Amino acid sequence: MSAAMTSPAGMQGEPLLDIRNLSKSFGEDRSLLQVATGKPARVLQAVRNVSLSVKPGETLGVVGESGCGKSTLGRCIAGLYDPSAGEVLWQGKPLTAIGDRKAASRQIQMIFQDPYSSLNPRMTVEQTLAEVLKAHGLVDGGKARAERVDELLLTVGLPPRLKDRLPHALSGGQRQRVSIARALAVQPQLIVADEPVSALDASVQAQIINLFEELRDRFGIAFVFIAHDLNVVRHISHRIAVMYLGEVVELSEADALFDAQRHPYTKALLSAIPWPDPERRTAAAGLEGELPDPLNPPAGCSFSTRCAWVEEACRARHPDLDPYSNGHLVRCRRMHEIA
Amino acid sequence: MSGTTSLLRVDNLVTRFNGHGPAVTAVDGVSFDIRPGEIFGLVGESGCGKSATCRSLIRLFGGAAAEIAGGKVLFDGTDLAELDDRGMEDVRGARIAMIFQDPMTALNPTMRIGDQIMEGLRRHRGLGRRAAREEAVRLLASVGVTSPESRLGAYPHHFSGGMRQRVLIAIALACRPQLLIADEPTTALDVTIQDQILKLILRLRDETGMSVLMVTHDLGVVAQTCDRVAVMYAGRIAETGETRQIFRRPAHPYTRALLDALPAHAGRGAKLKPIGGEPPNLAAPPPGCRFHPRCPHAVEKCQQTLPELEMIEPGHGSACLRVKELGL
C-alpha cells in the first residue's frame, strides 16, 4: 500500500474475502411441551443470507444495534462459528481449502471488545505473545522469539519494558494494544475487529483508531470493523454495511452513505446519533418501538414494524438487497422515494 | 450567577475513598450550582470523579468506604452534608431521585415492576394500595410504557434494556423530585433507544419543571441535552459554562483536546487527534495542574500550581493557569 487512503474503487482484482449467502442460526432447546406435542424447537436466525466482500487492504465497516447479528457475522468470518448455510471464500476458494482452523487463523485474526476478558489474566504480555508465535511455529529459538515480541510491542506503540506485566497492571488502552499485537503476530491479511474501541474512553479511543489506520497503511491489512458507533465506523471504513435483524439492509461507500441514506433504518440510525454540537439539536421524534423478537421476525420487510414509510406491500413481501446505484445496495422497495 | 437562585449548590466538595491501599480523593474541591428546571451536565472520562460527585450528593456509595471530607451540598437551603441518615432518607427518593447506567442491576429482579414503583409512592407520598396502583399505571404511561396496567405484574427480566430504563425513570419520578440525578442513563443502550430516553428526559423536565444532573462521558449527549455543563478531570472541574460556550469556545486545553479527539469532528480522511497518555491514578495525582502531563501547553508553573476555576466571561469558568495567554 503506497497511498495512505486508497479508495475501494482503486482496489482492483479478486476480493480477499467473499461471503456468499451466509446464514447462521441457533436452535433453542425444545421445551417439554414442544417435545410432547411434536413441535420443532424454535430457531433464532442470527445472520440471514448475508453476502459481502472485502478487498485486500480495504476496511469494511459493519454497523447495527445489539442483536442485529454483526458479531455473529464477525465470528463466522473468523471461523469461530460454522455457518449454517452459505459459504466464506478466501481468495476465491472455500475457507476450508486453506487448511485446518489453525492455518486459517494465520490469515484471519479477531480482536474483541473487552481487552480484559480476551487476555489471559495469569499470563504476562510476553507470554501471551510468545504463545502465539510458538503455537504457529513462527519463530525458532527463545532469543529470536523475544526479539519478535519486542518488535510487536513497538509496532502497536507499547514500550517493550511492559512485557513482564500482567493484564491487570495495564490500562484499558494498553490492553487493547496487546490484543492487537497478538493478532498481528501471525501477520494476518484480514483482521475482524468486533467493537474494539467501545470500552475505551474518548481520548484513548482516538489513539487506537489511529493505530488501526497506521497498521492498514503499513502492512496492507484488510479490516472488518464491527461497531455500533457510526462516527467511528465512518471515520475508519471505506465501505459500510448496515445490519438489521440479521440482514444487510444497506451497503455503500462510507461517505455516500452519510450523505444520502436510502434505507429508512439507516436514516433513523444516523439521526439518532447525539451530534456533539449544541447548535444542531434535533427535537423531532426518532425511531419508535424496539427491535422485534428475532425468534419471531415480522413477515415481509423486517423493518416494517418500526418504519415511517411502511405500506401494505412492505408487509406482504420480503424485499431483496437491490442496487440503488453502482456499489450502493438497499433492501427497501421504496428506496427511490426516500430522500 | 447572580440574581438566579440555585436549587442545588455544591461548594468545595471533597470525597475520599478509604479502601485497601492509599486513600483516593475522587472528588477534590468541586463546586457547581444547578438552577430550577435546568439540565446540568457533568462530563468526563472514566475515573474523573463524576459518578463519585453525584453519589456524594445523596450519600449512596454502594458499600464503599467513602466519606465526605469537606465542603457543602446546599439543596433548597439545607446542607445535605450535615443531615443525619434519617434526614437523608427523607430527601433521597422523595426530593432527589437517581437513575443509573445499568437498568438491570438497579431493579430488584425478584420484585414485580408494579410493586417496585408503588414502594416509593407508599413510603414517601403515603398513598394507599389502590391509589398507589393507579399512580403507578399513570407513571408507566407517562414514560412511554405501552399497556401499563398489564405490565405491573411483570418482572424486570421480561423487559428490554430500554424498557427497564423507562421503569427506573418512572420510579424516580414517583415522588415528583425537584432534582433527578441521571448517571450515564443511556450508556448501556443502543443509539436509537438512547435517543428515545434522552427525549423522554427532556420532555419530563419540560412537563414537571424538575432539574436534572446529567452525568455522562459522551459529549454528544451533553450537546443534545444540557443547558450548562462542567467538564471534570481527575477529581476536579476543568471548565464550566453554558453548553454553547463550552463547545464554541472551549477554554481549557483538556476540553479542547476532548472535542478535537472526536471522530465526528475530524475532517474526512484526516487523522484523529488523540490526547497522549492516559488519565492519572487518583491515588497519586500529579502535582500542580492534574492535566499538565498530557497538556501540549504545559509550562513549569503548571507543574507547581494547582489552578482554581476562574471566570473568563460571565458564567464561563476555566481552571487553566494559561487561559489568558493562550487566548483559549
pLDDT band at residue A1 under the 50/70/90 scheme:
very low
Predicted local confidence at residue A78, as pLDDT? 92
H or E stretch including A328? strand A328-330
Mean pLDDT of A133-142: 90
Would the CB atoms of B247 and A207 count as touching at under 8 Å? no
Would the CB atoms of B217 and A202 count as touching at under 8 Å? yes
CA distance A277 to chain B (A): 5
Q: Are A190 and A54 in contact (CB under 8 A)?
A: yes
Q: In sequence order, which residues have a C-beta less than 8 Å from that of residue B69 and are 6 or more positions away? A: B14, B15, B16, B25
pLDDT band at residue B280 under the 50/70/90 scheme:
confident
Tell which residue, A162, A75, A65, has the closest CA to residue A118. Answer: A75
Domain boundaries, chain B: 1-89+225-328
Please list every residue in chain B whose beta carbon sits closer than 8 Å to the beta carbon of residue A275: 220, 223-224, 264
DSSP string, B265-297: GSPTTPPP-PPSS-PPPTTSPPSSSTTGGG-TT
Q: Which residue has the higher pLDDT, B116 or A35?
A: B116
Q: Which residue has the higher pLDDT, B328 or B223?
A: B223
Would the CB atoms of A201 and B45 count as touching at under 8 Å? yes
Does the pLDDT value for residue B2 go beyond 60? no
pLDDT band at residue B159 under the 50/70/90 scheme:
confident
Does the pLDDT value for residue B1 go beyond 70? no
Predicted local confidence at residue A9, as pLDDT? 44
Could you report the per-residue pLDDT of A213-247, keeping only the tens digit for each? 999 999 999 999 999 888 899 999 999 999 999 99
Percent pLDDT > 90 in chain A is 69
Does the pLDDT value for residue B28 go beyond 90? yes
Domain boundaries, chain A: 13-31+41-107+188-330
**The CATH number of the domain covering residues in A13-31+41-107+188-330:** 3.40.50.300
Does the pLDDT value for residue B14 go beyond 50? yes
Mean pLDDT of B27-35: 96
Please list every residue in chain B whose beta carbon sits closer than 8 Å to the beta carbon of residue A273: 191, 220, 264
Give the whole-angstrom CA distance, residue B146 versus residue B210: 24
Q: In sequence order, which residues have a C-beta less than 8 Å from that of residue B281 and are 6 or more positions away? A: none
> Per CATH, is B1-89+225-328 categorized as 3.30.70.920?
no
Percent pLDDT > 90 in chain B is 67
Predicted local confidence at residue A292, as pLDDT? 85
Does the pLDDT value for residue A55 go beyond 90? yes
pLDDT band at residue A183 under the 50/70/90 scheme:
very high
Cβ-based neighbour number of residue A26 at 10 Å: 14
- Reported for A305-309, long-range contacts at CB under 8 A and 24+ positions apart, including other chains, are A306/A265, A306/A268, A307/A264, A307/A265, A308/A264, A308/A268, A309/A264, A309/A334, A309/A337, A309/A338
- Helix orientation angle between A172-184 and A125-135, rounded to the nearest 10 degrees: 20
Please list every residue in chain A whose beta carbon sits closer than 8 Å to the beta carbon of residue B224: 274-275, 278, 281-282
On average, the pLDDT of chain B sits at 91
Does the pLDDT value for residue A8 go beyond 50? no
Cβ pairs A/B, distance under 8 A: 120
Which residues of A make CB contacts under 8 Å with B?
5, 65-66, 171, 173-174, 201-207, 209-210, 213, 228-232, 234-235, 255, 268-269, 271-283, 285-288, 290-291
A97, three cell numbers: 481449502
CA distance A157 to chain B (A): 11
On average, the pLDDT of chain A sits at 90
Specify the pTM: 0.88
Percent pLDDT > 70 in chain B is 98
In the chain, the amino acid numbered A164 is D
Does the pLDDT value for residue B282 go beyond 50? yes
- Judged by average pLDDT, the poorest of A57-61, A95-99, A216-220, A243-247 is A95-99
Burial zone of A284 (CB within 10 Å; 0-12 exposed, 13-18 middle, 19+ buried): exposed
DSSP code at position B298? -
Q: How many CA within 13 A on the CB side of residue B296?
A: 12
Predicted local confidence at residue A12, as pLDDT? 56
Predicted local confidence at residue B4, as pLDDT? 60
Does the pLDDT value for residue A321 go beyond 50? yes
Does the pLDDT value for residue A2 go beyond 60? no
Enter the ipTM: 0.83
- Judged by average pLDDT, the poorest of A251-255, A267-271, B64-68 is B64-68
Instruction: Output the CA–CA distances (angstroms, integers) from residue B325 to A79, B136, B304, B322, in the order listed.
Output: 57, 56, 18, 5
Would the CB atoms of A273 and B45 count as touching at under 8 Å? no
Give the whole-angstrom CA distance, residue B223 versus residue A273: 11
- B37 Ramachandran zone, left/alpha/beta (phi>0; psi -120 to 50): left
Could you report the per-residue pLDDT of B241-266, keeping only the tens digit for each? 999 999 999 999 999 999 999 988 88
Does the pLDDT value for residue A3 go beyond 70? no
Predicted local confidence at residue B3, as pLDDT? 45
pLDDT band at residue B101 under the 50/70/90 scheme:
confident
Would the CB atoms of B263 and A278 count as touching at under 8 Å? no
Does the pLDDT value for residue A4 go beyond 50? no
Mean pLDDT of A167-188: 94
